[in-house]
Amino acid sequence: MFIICQLTLAILVLDSMDKHRGSRLSELFGSLGSFFRKCMFCILSMGPIPKHFAFIMDGNRRYAKKEKLEEGAGHRAGFSVLMSMLKYCYELGVTYVTIYAFSIENFKRKPDEVQNLMDLILEKIEGLLKEESLVNKYGIRVYFIGNLKLLSKPVRVAAEKVMKATTNNTKCVLLICIAYTSCDEIVQAVHESCKNKLEEIQPCNSHRSFSGRVEEVDGKSIDDDIGHSVQELFGVQTNELRATRASTFCNDVAEGVERTDKKSGVVGHGVHGSCDKWGEVQSLEASGTRDGVIPNVKSEKLLVDLSILKVVDIESHMYMSVAPNPDIVIRSSGETRLSNFLLWQTSNCLLYSPNALWPDMRLWHLVWAVLDFQRNYSYFEKKKKQF
Ligand SMILES: CC(C)=CCC/C(C)=C/CC/C(C)=C/COP(=O)(O)OP(=O)(O)O
């Protein structure tokens, strides 16, 4: 009870300081504020602290409208709140923060809105390289997560520069999802996994005679399992034919994922054509082959053979594979949807959605999120063990 009272008092003091941000009063009380914050974080740290926070920064345009500001001012205010949130997270001991900065869907907005947002993002990315930036102050390693090919060259180059410049930072990690949707991430991960498997399979296969006899490499016979399944799968005529069919299979699986993405209007995967197999893949998955298997859709037998492709293979090709799964997603503005954000990574994750628009988010929203996490901690830990 005493702790809750202390926290509430500290939150009220800090919140009133926050309201005077930028004024002389706030400067005057700046160090007092940081002292209060540290005390509060010490109290919070008596419980478990999330390792990984993810933010969906919703409500920037609505904020601009509400405050009768010009278009774009909401996103600028949103960026400044983002910097405060990052500071609080890292002070609290959170190691990973992921933000949804720009989705592939966002490219469908009015061209000048997209352009203004990209200009702001470019300006802020370049700002991250400055000596006095938060990135240098807290030793943050930055990753840009998404289909970076879809970005304009200046933004892509700036993003690559920041990633390179922060490679040796080890204290904490910021993952900026840009030109990102989960469906796109999953499609490219499936594609890469299939490509890798084929590279693993083909050398084995090229040492095999058409009769199926196993040949020896360096005095050892090649394990028959993989080669056998490939032979059955591709009908075994020539290595070229096998390769073509294999890559068709790879595309079919990936296209299936893509098709579900297209239904939601997502563009830009670079794989075209129709695939009638995804429904089958989905129903096979639902009927118990889910555990690590991308099923083959041509026959029951091949379904078993293709168990060579595992969930871990796909996972290791996710853009987000550089970080553990998030412990908590905060979506501002009271929305409780994930909107194609980290769908693969959030099966065991708390969703916290305060009503505040993103530029109205304050320290106390973060504190309530951590308290909510602590309240649900044992439930999520139990779930993780069951998984
Ligand atoms: C360098 C860097 C990481 C910059 C990030 C800048 C920033 C705050 C981006 C937010 C982008 C965005 C589309 C937010 C959603 O609000 P919205 O525009 O959909 O607003 P609404 O929900 O009111 O419509």
Task: Supply 342's token pair.
Answer: 């980290």
Task: Supply 306's token pair.
Answer: 């293709």
Q: Which residue has the higher pLDDT, 83 or 236?
A: 83
**What pLDDT score was predicted for residue 311?**
93
60 CA → ligand 1 middle, Å: 6
Task: Supply 278's token pair.
Answer: 């995804």
The residue nearest atom 5 of ligand 1, judged by CA position, is 101
In which order are the strands placed within the sheet that holds 350-352? 140-145, 172-180, 96-103, 52-56, 328-331, 350-352
pLDDT, tens digit, for every residue of 330-360?
999 999 999 999 999 999 999 999 999 999 9
Name the pTM for this structure.
Answer: 0.74
Q: Is the ipTM of this complex over 0.90?
A: yes
What is the crossing angle of helices 363-386 and 2-19, to 10°? 130
Task: Supply 175's token pair.
Answer: 């993952």
**What pLDDT score was predicted for residue 294?**
45
Length of the chain as a residue count: 387
pLDDT, tens digit, for every residue of 249-277?
445 544 544 444 444 333 333 333 333 33
Element (DSSP H or E) covering residue 135:
helix 134-138
**What pLDDT score was predicted for residue 385?**
81
183 CA → ligand 1 middle, Å: 20
Protein residues whose CB sits closer than 6 Å to any atom of ligand 1: 57-62, 75, 78-79, 82, 99, 101-102, 106, 120-121, 124-125, 176
* Nearest atom in ligand 1 to 81's CA: 8
pLDDT, tens digit, for every residue of 173-209?
999 999 999 999 999 999 999 998 888 877 655 554 3
**What pLDDT score was predicted for residue 30?**
73
The residue nearest atom 2 of ligand 1, judged by CA position, is 121
CA–chain centroid gap for 138, Å, is: 22
Q: Active-site residue 58, yes or no?
A: yes
Say if residue 53's pLDDT is above 70: yes
pLDDT, tens digit, for every residue of 11-44?
555 555 555 555 666 676 778 888 889 999 999 9
**What pLDDT score was predicted for residue 6?**
57
- Domain residue spans in the chain? 1-46, 49-180+323-385, 188-315
95 CA → ligand 1 middle, Å: 23
**What pLDDT score was predicted for residue 36?**
87
Report which of 31, 27, 33, 42 is spatially closest to residue 10, judged by C-alpha positions. Answer: 33
Element (DSSP H or E) covering residue 329:
strand 328-331
Q: Which CATH superfamily does the domain covering 49-180+323-385 fall into?
A: Decaprenyl diphosphate synthase-like (3.40.1180.10)
112 CA → ligand 1 middle, Å: 15
**What pLDDT score was predicted for residue 4?**
54
* Nearest atom in ligand 1 to 358's CA: 16
Say if residue 109's pLDDT is above 60: yes
Lowest mean pLDDT among 58-67, 149-158, 200-209: 200-209
Our mutation pick for probing the ligand 1 site, out of 58, 181, 360, counting the most ligand atoms within 8 A of Cβ, is 58
Q: Which residue has the higher pLDDT, 114 or 299?
A: 114
Q: Which residue has the higher pLDDT, 366 or 290?
A: 366
Quote the strand ranges of 57-95, DSSP E: none
233 CA → ligand 1 middle, Å: 47
The residue nearest atom 11 of ligand 1, judged by CA position, is 101
Say if residue 214's pLDDT is above 50: no
**What pLDDT score was predicted for residue 66?**
97
